[in-house]
């Protein structure tokens, strides 16, 4: 059975969904590398959340993730990308990113992201053409190969 994956514009009502998914998915990896400070994480999330940059990942009409992409005159930055833990490993992340890569490549700008060093999502990014280009402590900086 074929599934239908869509990226939908986020609304203000998606804030809580995105926050809860962020906290759920980031806590285990962050705790391995540093002390988890819930209040600090929530405050950081509130600062970074930009509704106009967020798309909600829906599979067969069910919201299962979200991503935030910031475009500037000089680059494209994948700031956040989260898929619900019970949906991870099913190819959703791969399909979403594969659908975005042609558009990003056509912009002829560097496509950048950071990922926690212990986050298995790094393998996904590498499979899709990203390489580690820097190290910022607990995170790797990655760039899409052109």
User: Mean per-residue pLDDT for 21-31?
Assistant: 93
Residue 35 has pLDDT above 90, yes or no: no
pLDDT of residue 135: 96
Q: In this prediction, what percent of the chain has a pLDDT beyond 90?
A: 92
Q: Which CATH number fits domain 5-144: 3.40.630.30, 3.40.50.150, 3.40.640.10, 2.60.40.420?
A: 3.40.630.30
- Own/partner contacts of 65-72, CB < 8 Å, gap of 24 or more, are 65/21, 65/92, 65/93, 65/96, 66/10, 66/14, 66/17, 66/18, 66/21, 67/7, 67/96, 69/100, 71/107
The average confidence (pLDDT) of the chain is 95
User: Mean per-residue pLDDT for 36-59?
Assistant: 96
Residue 87 has pLDDT above 80, yes or no: yes
**Which of these, 87, 92, 67, lies nearest to 9 by C-alpha position?**
67
What is the pTM for the complete model shown? 0.93
């Amino acid at each position: 059975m074929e599934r239908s994956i869509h990226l939908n514009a986020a609304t203000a009502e998606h804030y809580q969904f995105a926050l809860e998914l962020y906290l759920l998915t980031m806590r285990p990896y962050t705790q391995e590398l540093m002390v988890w400070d819930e209040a600090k994480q929530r405050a950081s999330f509130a600062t970074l959340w930009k509704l106009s940059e967020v798309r909600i990942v829906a599979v067969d009409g069910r919201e299962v993730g979200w991503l935030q992409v910031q475009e500037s005159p000089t680059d494209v930055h994948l700031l956040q990308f989260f898929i619900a833990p019970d949906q991870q490993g099913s190819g959703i992340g791969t399909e979403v990113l594969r659908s975005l890569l042609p558009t990003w490549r056509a912009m002829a700008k560097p496509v950048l992201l950071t990922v926690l060093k212990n986050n298995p999502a790094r393998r996904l990014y590498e499979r899709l053409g990203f390489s580690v280009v820097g190290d910022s402590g607990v995170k790797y900086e990655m760039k899409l190969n052109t």
